[in-house]
Structure formats: structure tokens, C-alpha cells
Chains A and B, each alone.
Chain A
Amino acid sequence: MQASVPPLRQRATLIIGAMLVLAIATLLFAGMTGSIRVPLSDIPDALRQLASGQPDSLSASLLDLRASRALVAFATGGALALAGLMMQALLRNPLADPYVLGVSSGASVGALLALLFMASALVVDAAALVGAVGVALLLYLLARRDLRGGQAAEGGASMLLLTGVIVSALCGSLVTLMLSIAPEGRLRSMIFWLIGDLAGAPLRLAPWIVLVGALLFAMRSARAMNMVALHAENAVTLGVRVSALRKGLFFVSALLTASAVTSAGSVGFVGLIVPHACRFAFGPDHRVLIPAVVLSGGAFLVLCDTLARTIVAPQQLPVGAITAMIGAPVFLYQLHRLRK
């Protein structure tokens, strides 16, 4: 049997096209769904009003609210999924997620500290960012040798992983400490931040810039990521600058994670199950996975957030609770199928 030349490019175009349609469909769905339904026929007119900056009709103002929240969800989900994919390639472990190295725990410490002192929303976001970046830099200093590769054993990056797990545990204990001394009145906002919540998350340009920049970096490195996923350190003998790639993956995924948790809190499971499910469906080739993961991660979180604000309306659930409730069973199912 001779395998014919597989039409890789056509297959990739098809997959990405389908994911793009799916992503747009979920955004539309999010715009239509809520306490007052916006019919699909009103959407074009409402979009026109939004584009002209004059949301006069009810449909237009509803769409304005829902669309900005859905766009935050999309950027957050896409960023988390891409960060997870990069982390999995960096650690050569399909079960790694963007939180495994403790970048989000650092953000939690910063955000909770700010919430404890009743800081404004902007200060909370800034503190989360500082915490995330601080942990990323600390990890980099401690595990610099591992990122550089070289003498590290095959498989590599074990030093980075262990350091991350310990730093993460340390941040976790600080979070517990702050929760235990926090006054009753502030506990609720702190817990919602920890679970991950998109209510009141402002639509900003920065997360989109980070996401697009990271996507460009990832697409440029897609082939090299395949090489490192396949050959680890030995990818050097195929002309890949492994240490530079590792540093790039580390910093870009840390930046993505920081940007995502800063706007939405630590939403769990997106960075783990979306890359995992995409790899399961489309194969491990990063040239297909990278765009697919961003689109499906964004769509997944938009869908979860729509559920979070409608399922027990008028009560709103934190989106992190929904992703965990969907994510954990899906992950267990995938893991089980993998074993067979």
C-alpha cells in the first residue's frame, strides 16, 4: 500500500473554514440569546446601527451589551487555548495547561490582594497582571538552564515543570491565607475572581492585540513546534533553534495567560480540553492546530458564557463554573478513549 500525497493544505483550509463559521455562529448565538431574544432578522439592522455608533433600537443596544461581553469571552478563550497548546508543546506533555506553571496563581495573588484592599477594578486588573508577569520572570530565572536546553535530558523541561508546580503551590497557599483573613463583604468578589467571571469585564483592545501577536508568532513557529514535539532536544540536528523557540513559547504563553486572567479571572479547563479535543479531531500537526485552537477556544468560551448568564437567569453564574462542569467530563471521556 502506497500512501498518496495527502492534500494537507486543502484539509487545513477546510478545517479552519469550518471553525471560522462555527465561531461566527456562536457569536451570533450569544448576541441573540438572553432575557430578551433578539431575532436573527434584526441582527443586520442592529449591526448597521452599531457600526454607525447610534444604537437606537432595543435590538441594537442589547446587541451592543452582549457583543462586547462575547468579544471579551472570545479573546479570553482563544488566548487560553493557544497558551495551553504552546505549554503542551514546550513541556512535551499533552496534559499540560496554561496554569500548570503557576502564572495564573501569580495573577490570583495580585488580584486578591487588590480586592482585599478594596481597590478599583482597574487596579485589580493591573495587580493581576503584575502577579502573572512576576511569577513568569521568577520561573524564567530559576529554570533558565532548562529552557536553554543543551545538556538537559531527553524530554527536557522537567526542571521548569517542577519549579512551576512549587511556585504555584506557594501562590495557592497565599490565596488561601488571604481568603481566610478577608472580611465577609469582600469574599464574594474574591471567590468570583478565582472561579473566573466575565460579568462586567470591560472590552479592551489589549487582549486582542496580544492574541493576534501571539497567533502570528505561533504560526511562524508552527513547523519548529512540530519538530520539538517530535524530537525534543534533537530537533537541533534538524536545524531548529530549540532554546530560542523554548524561550519564545514560554514568554508568549505566559503573556497570553496573563492577558486572559487579567480580564476574566482564572477560567479553568479551556487551555486543557480545547487543545486536547482539537488534537484528537485534527491530529497533532501544529500548522492546523494553532488557528483551529484559537477559533474553537474562543467559540467554546462564548458558548459557556452565554450559558452562564442564561441558565439560571436572572441569576448569573461565573463562567469558570460552567467550563469546569463541561470540561472535566469531556476530558475524562477523552482520556478514557485514549487508553483504549
Chain B
Amino acid sequence: MTTIATHDLRLAIGGRTLVRGLDWAAQPGQCWSIIGRNGAGKSTLLRTLAGLQQPDGGAVHIGGRALPAWPLTDLARERAFLAQSRHDAFAYTVLESVLSARHPYHANRYWEGSDDHQVALAALASMDVSELAARDVRTLSGGERQRVAIAALLAQQTPLLLLDEPANALDLAHQVSVMGLLARMCREQNKTVVMIGHDLNLASRISTHVLLLMGDGRWHAGTNEQTMQAALLGDYLGHPIEMIEHHGRRIFIPKEDQA
């Protein structure tokens, strides 16, 4: 069954069309990367998929049901969303911020149950931030805060995960481990991941599929092998790109200007 699909989707901003006629679908077990230049509409698309903003045309379906037809709480058990940035105004603890992701499971209860605490603690452990549980979220470093936010996403336990630049602010080791975890969740738990990223090598290593956005309405979707081609990527990113093979892995590097 299709997890998420768009039908003739049109996105525009300030009168400029970013995406036109997007007919796209993601199946369980697929890990999609959205790649494009700054301002190409990647975040706009992801926010539209999450239901945070209305498309300028067309529709988004999750589990075969159009987004506006979903009750919000039910939908919150189907898809989780990681925002690109966050601003913490209040001194919530790390544990409280992760527990908040359990909201859709007991919106009618006043207190969380111990099962929620178990899920939250497991999510913290998987993001390697267990020892931060009692810390004020405002005192964390950028990378720590990002890992806590991803832990909250995992604690929401949804089949569909939408992530806006999950590798943002993470150090090298955590970039590799977080991406590896996402890829494993697709493979082993049949989850669907749709994420935005700027690192072509990370995307190439873990994505099964790629959606390229040009920013003028054009788009290109396909499997990793079909889309992660130097010429195509260079075209969509606006800079010539070279691909080299190294120990059976494909490495993408920007071409130096021949000045």
C-alpha cells in the first residue's frame, strides 16, 4: 500500500511556481531524499506533505486518504515531521520535549503513562543522548538539540517520517550513525522516510529513491541508480559535478573551476 502520494501538486511562493504537476508516491520501506538548490521549494514541499501548509493546487494523500480528511490526532500517529529549525522559549527538559511526541497517543489523559516513558527513554538512547534527559533544552549545543529533536520524532512511532535536513549541525560520526539508523528503519521496520539533505554522498549511501527539484516547476523522481548521476545532479544543482568510484561507493564532488 502507498504510504504517501501527491496528485498534480502545484506549489508557488510569491507568484513564482516552484513545483508543477508533481505526481509522486512513496511506498513502505523506501527512503527518499529531496535534493535541489536553495529556494527550490524543498522545505515548502515537505511542509505541504506534513499538512502544515496548503498546496496551491492538487492534493496530498496519506494512506489513500486526502490530508484534509484526516482527524489531526489520527494523522499524528501516521506521520512525524522534523522542522528545519526550532526556537525554545521555555525551560522544558530533554525528557519532557521527547515525551511531548507521545501526545497523539493519549490526548485525553492528563499525565503520560510509564509506557510513554519507556518509549521516550529508548528513543533518547538510540540517539545517544540518554545522559542529557534531565537537561534544559535551551542549554544544549546545536547538534545535541538536533539529536533530541530526532529522538522525539522516533518516539512518535509513525510509519512515515518527514525530515527537513536531519543531518544539520551533527558532527561527522553522528551524521553517519543517524543516517544509518534511518536507513535501517526503512529496511527492517518497513518505515517510509522522506528527507531533505545537502550532502550528496550521505544521500547516495542511504536513499533508495531521490526526488530532484529544479525550483521552476520541473522535477525528476526515480531510484537512487537512475537519479544519482553526475550530469543530472549538476543540472539540478547548478554546478558541474564529478562522480568517482571508491571501494565500490560512488563519491560526488563539485568540479573545480578551471580558472
Residues of A within 8 A of B (CB): 1-3, 5-6, 8-9, 92-94, 150-151, 154-155, 219, 222-223, 226-227, 229-234, 236-241, 279, 283-285, 287
Would A287 and B110 count as touching, CB distance under 8 A? yes
**Complex CA distance for A283 and B91, rounded to whole angstroms:** 7
List the B side residues contacting A93 at CB < 8 Å: 89
Question: Nearest CB to that of B50 among chain A residues?
Answer: A237
Extra contacts besides A2-B130, A154-B83, A287-B110 (20): CB < 8 Å = A8-B111, A154-B85, A154-B87, A223-B103, A226-B92, A226-B100, A229-B90, A230-B92, A233-B52, A234-B52, A234-B83, A234-B86, A236-B52, A237-B79, A238-B76, A238-B101, A238-B104, A238-B156, A239-B75, A285-B92
**Chain A to chain B contacts (Cβ below 8 Å), 7 pairs:** A8-B112, A151-B53, A223-B110, A238-B100, A239-B72, A241-B72, A284-B96
Residues of B within 8 A of A (CB): 50-54, 72-77, 79-81, 83, 85-93, 95-97, 100-101, 103-104, 107, 110-112, 114, 117, 121, 130-131, 133-134, 156
Would A222 and B110 count as touching, CB distance under 8 A? yes
Would B130 and A94 count as touching, CB distance under 8 A? no
Q: Which 6 A-B pairs have the closest CB atoms?
A: A239-B76, A239-B73, A3-B133, A239-B104, A284-B90, A237-B81
- The verdict on A223 contacting B96 (CB below 8 Å), with A93-B89, A237-B79 known, is no
List the A side residues contacting B110 at CB < 8 Å: 219, 222-223, 287
Question: Nearest CB to that of A9 among chain B residues?
Answer: B111
List the B side residues contacting A231 at CB < 8 Å: 86, 100
Would B100 and A227 count as touching, CB distance under 8 A? yes
**Complex CA distance for A3 and B53, rounded to whole angstroms:** 37
Question: Nearest CB to that of A226 among chain B residues?
Answer: B100
Would A150 and B97 count as touching, CB distance under 8 A? no
Which residue, B50, B53, B90, has most C-beta atoms of chain A within 10 A?
Answer: B90
List the B side residues contacting A94 at CB < 8 Å: 89-90
**Complex CA distance for A241 and B71, rounded to whole angstroms:** 10
**Complex CA distance for A203 and B190, rounded to whole angstroms:** 64
List the A side residues contacting B121 at CB < 8 Å: 2-3
List the A side residues contacting B50 at CB < 8 Å: 237
**Complex CA distance for A47 and B104, rounded to whole angstroms:** 48
Which residue, A94, A155, A227, A239, has most C-beta atoms of chain B within 10 A?
Answer: A239
From residue B107, how far is it (CB to closest CB) to chain A in Å? 6
Would B89 and A92 count as touching, CB distance under 8 A? yes
**Complex CA distance for A297 and B185, rounded to whole angstroms:** 49
**Complex CA distance for A93 and B87, rounded to whole angstroms:** 11
From residue B79, how far is it (CB to closest CB) to chain A in Å? 7
List the B side residues contacting A241 at CB < 8 Å: 72
List the A side residues contacting B77 at CB < 8 Å: 239
Question: Nearest CB to that of B52 among chain A residues?
Answer: A236
From residue A16, how far is it (CB to closest CB) to chain B in Å? 13
List the B side residues contacting A287 at CB < 8 Å: 110-111
Question: Nearest CB to that of A219 among chain B residues?
Answer: B110
With beta carbons under 8 angstroms apart, the residue of B76, B87, B91, B96 that contacts A237 is: B76
List the A side residues contacting B156 at CB < 8 Å: 238
**Complex CA distance for A240 and B72, rounded to whole angstroms:** 7
- The verdict on A234 contacting B134 (CB below 8 Å), with A8-B111, A92-B89 known, is no
Would A284 and B92 count as touching, CB distance under 8 A? yes
List the A side residues contacting B107 at CB < 8 Å: 223, 239
**Complex CA distance for A197 and B34, rounded to whole angstroms:** 61
**Complex CA distance for A6 and B29, rounded to whole angstroms:** 36
Question: Nearest CB to that of A92 among chain B residues?
Answer: B89
List the A side residues contacting B130 at CB < 8 Å: 1-3
Would A230 and B97 count as touching, CB distance under 8 A? yes
Would B83 and A279 count as touching, CB distance under 8 A? no
**Complex CA distance for A237 and B76, rounded to whole angstroms:** 6
Would B87 and A155 count as touching, CB distance under 8 A? yes
**Complex CA distance for A93 and B86, rounded to whole angstroms:** 14
From residue B228, how far is it (CB to closest CB) to chain A in Å? 29
Which residue, A2, A5, A229, A230, has most C-beta atoms of chain B within 10 A?
Answer: A230
**Complex CA distance for A239 and B77, rounded to whole angstroms:** 8
List the B side residues contacting A226 at CB < 8 Å: 92, 96, 100
